[in-house]
Amino acid sequence: MKKTAVLLYPQFSEYELSVALSILMQGGKPIITLGSNTEPIRGESGLNCIADLSVNEVELDDIDSLLLPGCMDISTLQLEESLLDFIRHLSAKGGMIASISSSPYLLAKAGVLKNKKYTVGLPLDGLKQLGCFELHNYLDELVVVQDGNIITARGRGFIPFGICFGHALELNFDENWY
List, in order, residues 6 or more apart from 32 with CB less than 8 Å away: 3, 4, 5, 6, 52, 53, 58, 62, 63
**Measured distance CA(20)–CA(98) in Å, rounded:** 9
**Measured distance CA(82)–CA(69) in Å, rounded:** 17
Low-confidence ranges of the chain (pLDDT < 70): 77-79
Distance, C-alpha 170 to centroid of its chain: 18
Residue 134 identity:
E
Quote the pTM value: 0.94
- In this prediction, residue 74 carries a pLDDT of 73
pLDDT digits (tens, 9 = 90+) for 135-173: 999 999 877 889 999 999 999 999 999 999 999 999 999
